[in-house]
Amino acid sequence: MTVLMAEQNLHQAIRIADRGYIIVRGEVVFHGHSAVELQQNELVKTYYLGA
């Protein structure tokens, strides 16, 4: 089953998601296949994790 979830809270989203896509201005700029992959990406850290 495929479910599309749009969520601003990355920490909540990666708890239940199998994949994640980062979309900026209508374009996919990154996609990850695991929570670890998303958390370690520099783009994700900068824009969504406040690192």
Helix (H) or strand (E) holding 47: helix 42-48
pLDDT tens, position by position, 3-50:
788 877 877 887 888 888 888 899 998 888 888 888 888 887 887 777
| Residues in Cβ contact with 11 at an 8 Å cutoff, skipping those fewer than 6 apart | none
- Indicate yes or no: pTM above 0.75: no
The answer to whether the CB of 19 falls within 8 A of the CB of 32 is yes
Beta partners for residue 32, in sequence order:
20
